[in-house]
Amino acid sequence: MIQQRLTITVEEAGNLMGVSRATAYKIAGDRQANGFPCYTVGRAIRVKYEQFLKWFEELEAI
């Protein structure tokens, strides 16, 4: 059985979007301007995969 991860790293989200690591962290930190859905675990930032996909699809619709 293949287990799907529920979260991805900011760097992985950036790779999916085709942007650099630095740009991905800027987007993640820009929650005021509708940055992608993320939360922190200690010092690590995690992105909820399903919410990220929905967020990204909404961007493409704009």
CATH code assigned at 34: 3.90.105
Please report, for the chain, how many H helices and E strands are present, in that order: 3, 3
Domain assignment present for residue 1? The answer is no
Pairing of strands 7-9, 44-48: antiparallel
Residue 62 pLDDT:
59
Mean pLDDT by runs of 10 across the 62 residues of the chain is 79 93 88 76 91 85 62
Domain assignment present for residue 2? The answer is no
Instruction: Name 9's Cβ contacts closer than 8 Å, sequence gap at least 6.
Output: 44, 45, 46, 47
Our count of domains for the chain comes to: 1
Domain assignment present for residue 28? The answer is yes
Q: Which range marks the domain in which residue 28 is found?
A: 7-61
pTM: 0.78
Instruction: Name 50's Cβ contacts closer than 8 Å, sequence gap at least 6.
Output: 6
Domain assignment present for residue 46? The answer is yes
Instruction: Name 20's Cβ contacts closer than 8 Å, sequence gap at least 6.
Output: 14
